[in-house]
Amino acid sequence: MSIGRNAPGDHRTGAMGRTLYDKVWDDHTVKGYPDGSCLLYIDRHLVQEVSSPQAFAGLRQAGRKVRRSAANIAVADHAIATGGARRLAPDGLAALQLRRLEDNARDFAVPYIPVSDPRHGIVHVIGPELGFTLPGVTLVCGDSHTCTHGAFGALAFGIGASECEHVLATQTLRQSRQKRMRVRLEGVMPDGVAIKDVSLALISRIGTGGGTGHAIEYAGSAIPALPMEARMTLCNMSVEAGSRVGMVAPDERTFAYLEGRRMAPRGVLWERALDHWRGLPSDPDAVFDRDVAIDLGKLAPYVTWGTNPSEAVPVNGRIPDPASETDAGRRGRLARSLDYMALEPGMRVEDIGIDRVFIGSCTNSRIDDLRAAARVAAGRKVSARVRAMVVPGSAAVRMQAEAEGLDRIFRDAGFDWREAGCSMCVAMNEDRLAPGQRCASTSNRNFEGRQGVGGRTHLMSPAMAAAAAIAGHLADVRSFLS
């Protein structure tokens, strides 16, 4: 991988080419302020149960309305159960949160998708499925993984509840333009290496703050062949590198995915949209403030061993030793991670035994992800020491997987086949780790307690998680594919 810093250009003069990010930004600038910040128009807002109650409460308190109800979709994904009686009849605090979302959607005329609806799913999975997510739009959600939608060439970023309230009331946000960073993916991924491995390799090299202050654009010769699912995974993980924005320029693959979807434009509007979208890719002479290149051909499957996503190594590697770290701060951080994760310096990654497997989340719960995991699970059995679950990202993914017989493959292998939701990515529903349990997970964060108090998370690709489920320990999926 090479990293270069380019001379920063003034992107506002119009004298040089513009990036994809700048084009969408410029299209949405309502006005500029003297300090260089802008009032940015927001086309789309996904509303979920965790970050919206306080925003609606604020509107009520001030007697304000939602400016443009139809620009929103409300859906519950974080707190819901992924099976059992409590899925449709939740109790306790989760029931109150769900009811609050329903009440707010009704009172403010925001379109709401119930848990029982065939369109239901994780916000970042259903936005694209519905054609709510489109190239060249601005899209926000009170969730950091909103960068997922950048896979379509949308300018999409996560915001807090106060900003949600601002968007609901005004359809705008005051924002400052980010610097631009280009991550070029070159070459072809070897069999067994997935786009998740590219993200983990990138973050392990540039760090969890490597993208801070920058909007990332993923480019390079590997992009055209990447399915939309892979592009979504790639953009989704941008925030784990510190960047709120990760984008891929829209191309024919993007358009083919979107054409005919419920909320995508049709007829003459579709043609006009295509004209506009074809002008969005970064100009050849556009300048990026920072350039990073990754040779995909040289990558191995990655797993995280620590408590942030940059603490990752190839699966055939070893756990690092704090003693060989010269910087005292980094040494302390490393030791703390190893202590929380109950790992010994120098041990082989493949010797790490696991208790649970989670295949799902807004990062890796789409149909291609399930196909990759099923390919490994087919004809094999989940280790007796492991409890493994597959949680499709949406009702549509679940139906498609069942139509392809993937559910059968998973069930026969001993995986639990669940219904859509954030599930064990975030410990605020029934799916969570018990203290001390170790999980091979396709989610996005291995933070302390993220999957449950005292739980230990190893992030990896869906195929790698399936391999771990079968082996009972972290395992190199490449040995399962021969």
Partner 1 sequence: MTPFGRVKSVAAPLPESDIDTDVIFPARFLLLLDKAGLGKHLFNERRYDRAGKPRPDFILNQPPFETARILVAGQRFGSGSSREQAVWALADFGFACVIAPSFGEIFYTNCFKNGVLAIRMDETSHRALLQASQAGDIVTVDLERQRVSWTSGAVSFDIDAYRRRALLEGLDEIAQTLSDDSGAIDDFEARWSSRAPWVQIEGQHAAPDGGKDTP
Query: Cβ closer to partner 1: 197 or 448?
Result: 448
Give the β-pairing of 356-359 and 44-47.
unpaired
| C-beta separation of 238 from 147 below 8 A | yes
Size of the site for partner 1 (CB under 8 A): 101
Q: Tell me which DSSP letter residue 131 carries.
A: T
Binder to partner 1 among 21, 25, 81, 97 (CB under 8 A)? 97
Q: Does 272 bind partner 1 (CB under 8 A)?
A: yes
Is there binding between residue 314 and partner 1 (CB under 8 A)? Answer: no
In the chain, the largest separation of any two C-alpha atoms, in whole Å, equals 65
Distance in Å, CB of 2 to partner 1, minimum: 24
Q: Is residue 73 within the footprint of partner 1 (CB under 8 A)? A: yes
Contact region with partner 1 (CB under 8 A), list: 11-19, 350-358, 397-405, 467-475: 397-405
Backbone phi and psi for residue 187, each to the nearest 5 degrees, phi listed first = 90, -170
Q: Would you give the binding string for partner 1 spanning residues 277-306, x where CB under 8 A is met?
A: ------------------------------
The structure tokens listed for 133 are 């997510």
Q: For residues 127-166, which are near partner 1 according to CB under 8 A?
A: 129-132, 134, 136-137, 142-144, 158-163, 165-166
Interface with partner 1 (CB under 8 A), residue from 127, 393, 421, 462: 393
Range 27-46, binding partner 1 (CB under 8 A): 27-28, 30-31, 33, 35, 37, 39, 41, 43
For partner 1, the closer CB: 135 or 314: 135
Dig out the tokens for 132 from the structure.
């709510």
Q: Which is nearer to partner 1, 227 or 472 (CB)?
A: 227
DSSP β-ladder status, 214-219 and 245-248: parallel
The smaller minimum CB distance to partner 1, of residues 319 and 395, is found at: 395
Whole-number Å distance between alpha carbons of 272 and 260: 15
| Closer residue to partner 1 in complex, CB, 39/293 | 39
| Cβ density class 253-283: b for 16+ within 10 Å, e for less | bbbebbeebeebbeeeeeeebbeebeebbbe
437 forms part of the interface with partner 1 (CB under 8 A): no
In the structure encoding, which two tokens stand for residue 272, read together?
């006009």
Q: Which is nearer to partner 1, 66 or 193 (CB)?
A: 66
Give the footprint of partner 1 on residues 177-206 (CB under 8 A): none
Backbone phi and psi for residue 183, each to the nearest 5 degrees, phi listed first = -110, 110
What whole-number distance in Å separates Cα of residue 242 and Cα of residue 144? 10
Q: Is 93 in the site for partner 1 (CB under 8 A)?
A: yes
96 binds partner 1 (CB under 8 A): yes
Token reading at 428: 């605020």
Closer by beta carbon to partner 1, 31 or else 348: 31
DSSP secondary structure letters along 41-53: E--EEEE-TTTSH
Token couple for 451: 């999957």
Shortest Cβ 295–partner 1 spacing (Å): 27
CA distance 452 to 339: 17
Minimum gap (Å) between residue 239 Cβ and partner 1:
8
**Distance between CA atoms of 330 and 319, rounded to whole angstroms?**
15
Stretch 240-269 residues interacting with partner 1 (CB under 8 A): 242-244, 260-265, 269
Our finding on whether 347 is near partner 1 (CB under 8 A) is: no
- The size of the chain, in residues, is 482
List, edge to edge, every strand of the sheet that includes 112-113.
112-113, 72-75, 44-47, 138-141, 155-158
Cβ nearer to partner 1, comparing 310 with 461: 310
Task: List CB contacts of 285: < 8 A, sequence separation 6 or more.
Answer: 16, 17
CA 146, CA 274: separation in Å to the nearest integer?
23
* CB of 278 or CB of 380, closer to partner 1: 278
Cβ 482 to partner 1 shortest distance, Å = 30
Smallest separation, CB 203 to partner 1 (Å): 12
Which parts of 202-241 interact with partner 1 (CB under 8 A)? 208-209, 212-213, 239
